[in-house]
Amino acid sequence: MRRTDITGDDGVWTGVSVEVRSPGRPGLCLFAAERRLLLTQESRPVLLAEVDADHCGVEFRRTDAYRSVVPPLRADTARNLAGRPDRWAHRLLPYLLDTPGGPLHEGRWLLSAESPLLRGKEGSGPWGEYLDSLLVEGHPDGYVDWFVHNGSREVLPLRPMPAADDGRVKAYRKQAREGTLPPVLLWWVSGLDCSLILDGHARLAAAIAESVAPSMLQLIRTAPEDEVAEGTERAVRGYEEELAHFAELRAHHGASIPDGAALAGPPLARRLRDLDTGRRPTWAWPLEGGAAEWRAPADQVAREATDGSRPAG
């Protein structure tokens, strides 16, 4: 496993890139069969989803089987790391890597503080109302609406959101007022075109109750190493060709023509950064047995919801 901190043009930390070399399926694994998706955690069904035939949204059924990949966070840790998303990212990464029920598999990933959910807030009223509008409602059944909420700006909790007077939420509301609330950990899943909450359901509920901007760390899959290498070579070649063009102009028109570095340099830097941070579709493994295999856990979940039973563990 190799980590690399990513900074923006202004030098401010924006995320940490990690290269995982761990072949095989992850513990939190997405399977696909035709228009159907099944998310399991260590073989337990967590979420079943079916994309509309007209691709306007996704119907889902959520179970109560999901278990957070992060253990409870201590208040003193929250105070020590307050305002430092970079330190939080490095603190949480080991849980994503080492927890058996985590989503990481072989490839390159980015844990980013630049969530599009936060960027979409401008002109949207109070934070509490805005954040609440992002949440996908419904338990156990619900609907991810791609027609109304486009651009990956919905959040799907993997378990029911706790109420504002829940004991955990009350504790986090105090941290929200103090500015020490730990970040909400999200995972963007392309097949759902929304972000799943891996950890921080109660923290997000606290931010909504107190109407404050939460810190968010969003996990995405990025370009594989060979794609980055090829893209880097292409970008550098384009940069060199641009400088060669300016050199020809200077040879004909004199030193009044710039050397081109100031014009070609920033686009090169952006292309290289985009190669490191641009998100790629989420991997899904083929569901053996296809749609029929998907229906078996779907029917089981439906029976459990009807008779009140729950899976063991």
Using one digit for the tens of pLDDT, what is the confidence trace for 259-275?
888 888 888 888 887 78
* Residue 116: per-residue pLDDT: 80
* Residue 312: per-residue pLDDT: 38
Which pLDDT band holds residue 151 (cuts at 50, 70, 90)? low
Which pLDDT band holds residue 276 (cuts at 50, 70, 90)? confident
* Residue 24: per-residue pLDDT: 85
pLDDT at 293 over 50: yes
Neighbours of 246 (CB within 10 A): 16
> In which order are the strands placed within the sheet that holds 28-33?
141-145, 57-62, 44-51, 36-41, 28-33, 285-286
Mean pLDDT of 226-233: 81
Higher pLDDT, 124 or 37: 37
Question: Quick one: what percent of the chain has pLDDT higher than 90?
Answer: 56
Mean pLDDT of 89-93: 95
Contacts of 231 (CB under 8 A, 6+ apart): 223, 271, 275
* Residue 88: per-residue pLDDT: 96
Which pLDDT band holds residue 305 (cuts at 50, 70, 90)? low
Helix (H, G, I), strand (E, B) or coil at 181: coil
Question: Quick one: what percent of the chain has pLDDT higher than 70?
Answer: 94
For residue 48, CA distances in Å to 56, 133, 179, 195 come to 17, 23, 36, 15
pTM of the entire predicted model:
0.86
C-alpha torsion 265→267→273→275, nearest 10: -120
Largest Cα–Cα distance of the chain, in whole Å? 84
* Residue 277: per-residue pLDDT: 78
Mean pLDDT of 42-67: 92
Which pLDDT band holds residue 82 (cuts at 50, 70, 90)? very high
- Look at residues 155, 163, 230 and name the one whose alpha carbon lies nearest to residue 193: 155
What are 54's two structure tokens? 């007209």
Which pLDDT band holds residue 313 (cuts at 50, 70, 90)? very low
Higher pLDDT, 24 or 109: 109
* Residue 274: per-residue pLDDT: 79
Mean pLDDT of 223-233: 81
* Residue 254: per-residue pLDDT: 86
pLDDT at 251 over 70: yes
